[in-house]
């Protein structure tokens, strides 16, 4: 249910932004450009993005502070949804820091947030709960098929190869979705959550919710 709410809220958000005149439509490609710029500049704020909890006000504050002000270019807006930013950061750091999920890190990994408690979830905003639920589903997929999940990010964004890899992961995805729950996610959204889940798994902290 939470994941369905997230998909609906995303659709509403995107529909709402269409009414405003933009110099160019927000693009996920712009997010990756900003992340690549920050990596080239060795901006330490990038290392702190995944340490914040998804769906909170500061979920991508480090990205915004470090990226939009430093690397953003006029006329190339990024999507408002924080999970795109987190996903792009996680994807780039995954291949920088790890040769495989389950392997030794090349250096000191970036910090990731600690699993959240049931009390935290109960008092969290609806969008935050939906984001955590989506990340938990992606984490389940990564644990079910870590090798394919790691290799997923070698596919170009928006390509037939990317869609093919999503199809190949469908057995794992089906096993991670509750019976009767329908998830309609576009490849960019799936890629973003899978990237953060893959980085958490590689860093040895795949759990999103604390066991209580």
pLDDT tens, residue by residue, 170-201? 999 999 987 767 676 789 999 999 999 999 99
Mean pLDDT of the chain: 84
Per residue in 72-94, pLDDT (tens digit) is 665 567 888 889 999 999 999 99
Supply the pLDDT for residue 86.
94
* pTM for this prediction: 0.85
Q: State the pLDDT confidence band at 212, using cuts at 50, 70 and 90.
A: confident
d(CA 117, CA 154): 34
Q: Which are the contacts of 136, defined by CB distance < 8 A and separation ≥ 6?
A: 208, 209
HSE at residue 25, side-chain half, CA atoms within 13 A, is 9
Nearest to 186 by CA among 87, 52, 60: 87
Supply the pLDDT for residue 87.
96
Nearest to 138 by CA among 117, 169, 164, 112: 169
Most confident stretch, 33-37, 42-46, 60-64, 159-163? 159-163
What average pLDDT does range 89-105 have in this prediction? 95
- Which of 5-19, 71-85, 198-212 shows the lowest mean pLDDT across its residues? 5-19
Alpha-helical (H) ranges within the chain are 2-17, 28-40, 61-63, 82-97, 118-123, 126-144, 146-151, 160-168, 170-175, 187-202
**Exposed / middle / buried, residue 19 (Cβ in 10 Å: 0-12, 13-18, 19+):** exposed
d(CA 134, CA 177): 10
Supply the pLDDT for residue 73.
63
The larger pLDDT score, comparing residue 70 to residue 127, is at 127
Nearest to 86 by CA among 47, 122, 114: 47
Q: Determine how many CB atoms are found less than 10 A away from the CB of residue 87.
A: 30
CB distance 96 to 200 below 8 Å: no
Say if residue 30's pLDDT is above 90.
no
- Which of 64-68, 91-95, 126-130 shows the lowest mean pLDDT across its residues? 64-68
- Mutual orientation of helices 82-97 and 28-40 as an angle, nearest 10°? 40
Supply the pLDDT for residue 22.
43
What average pLDDT does range 122-144 have in this prediction? 93
Supply the pLDDT for residue 191.
97
């Amino acid at each position: 249910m939470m994941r369905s709410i997230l998909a609906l809220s995303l659709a509403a958000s995107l529909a709402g932004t269409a009414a405003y005149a933009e110099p160019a439509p927000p693009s996920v490609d712009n997010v990756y450009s900003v992340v690549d710029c920050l990596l080239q500049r060795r901006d330490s704020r990038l290392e702190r993005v995944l340490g914040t909890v998804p769906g909170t006000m500061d979920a991508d504050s480090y990205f915004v502070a470090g990226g939009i002000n430093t690397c953003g270019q006029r006329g190339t807006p990024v999507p408002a949804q924080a999970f795109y930013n987190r996903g792009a950061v996680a994807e780039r750091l995954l291949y920088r820091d790890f040769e495989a999920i389950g392997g030794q890190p090349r250096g000191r990994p970036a910090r990731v947030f600690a699993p959240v408690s049931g009390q935290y979830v109960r008092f969290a905003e609806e969008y935050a709960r939906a984001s955590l639920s989506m990340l938990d589903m992606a984490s389940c997929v990564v644990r079910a098929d870590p090798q394919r999940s790691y290799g997923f990010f070698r596919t170009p964004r928006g390509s037939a190869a990317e869609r093919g890899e999503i199809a190949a992961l469908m057995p794992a995805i089906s096993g991670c979705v509750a019976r009767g729950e329908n998830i309609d996610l576009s490849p960019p959204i799936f890629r973003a959550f899978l990237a953060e889940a893959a980085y958490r798994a590689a860093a040895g902290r795949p759990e999103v919710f604390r066991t209580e």
